[in-house]
Chain A
């Protein structure tokens, strides 16, 4: 049963991606992308990453998609341009294909079936997914959180620059 559900989500994700890529209207593409983000959230649930699944729904389906939609409105792209694009070049196609193959080889060669590390399923079940993540993130990687604060400061500078220029 669980494999059937997993198979449905895998197959439908490929179909939804194709639908999002082939739509003529960019707004329809963004709406298909919303469905794709919800399916990815369920895929995170299959990895027992419950907090990540909720973050996927709140941040991606909630906030980032709204920004995509406003970008589409801002560019005024009613329909995609008909002319040649950089993805039509054979060099570009080869580069994208080769780099994707490289990523897939890297990902599939690093798959391990054994369970390593101190964060076992029992530990996470005992103290809870969100709490386990918080303890690990803030106790072991404080520098990463600090860097994230700086990364989040950069779009705020961009907002200030645009608002300053708009006057």
Chain B
């Protein structure tokens, strides 16, 4: 096969699903915009604060735990992504290929156990 001429036709169903999901998503928004009645008044735009009139912007304090969780999510996501080709190609791996993944998991496991021991994953203590 010449490079540049190969087209992965086996992904045609995925592409069709993508096209249809785009049509349905945008079509729902479009029909809603055309059909639904819209009546605006100033009271509708006020933020609801249990009947009181809103008093300025809320204080933005973002809990650091969410950010730590996001970082850990990225780390474990990448680990799982590398685990997948390793598992698929397991019968063709050499002995180094086997052990390097064990070391790779071990490195992240050391970090994970350390996180648990230091209490980075406990959000509120009793």
Which residues of chain A have a CB within 8 Å of any CB of chain B?
2, 45, 48, 50-51, 55, 58-59, 62-64, 66-67, 70-71, 73-74, 76, 113-115, 120-122, 128, 130-135, 137-139, 142, 145-146, 148-150, 152-153, 155-160, 162-164, 166-167
In the A-B complex, the 10 residue pairs with the closest CB atoms: A134-B89, A134-B85, A138-B97, A163-B120, A156-B111, A142-B100, A149-B107, A149-B104, A63-B77, A67-B70
* Contact for A131 among B3, B60, B74, B85, CB less than 8 A: B85
Residue tally, chain B, CB below 8 Å to A:
52
On chain B, the residues within 8 Å of A149 by CB distance are 103-104, 107-108
Which residues of chain B have a CB within 8 Å of any CB of chain A?
1-4, 6-8, 11, 60, 62, 64, 66-68, 70-75, 77-79, 81-82, 84-89, 92-94, 96-101, 103-104, 107-108, 110-112, 114-115, 118-120
Cα-based distance from A66 to B113 in the complex (angstroms): 24
Assess the A62–B6 pair: CB atoms within 8 A: no
Assess the A139–B94 pair: CB atoms within 8 A: yes
Cβ contacts A to B, 18 pairs, < 8 Å: A70-B67, A70-B70, A74-B67, A121-B1, A122-B1, A128-B88, A131-B89, A131-B92, A138-B85, A138-B98, A138-B101, A142-B99, A146-B103, A149-B103, A156-B75, A158-B71, A159-B68, A163-B115
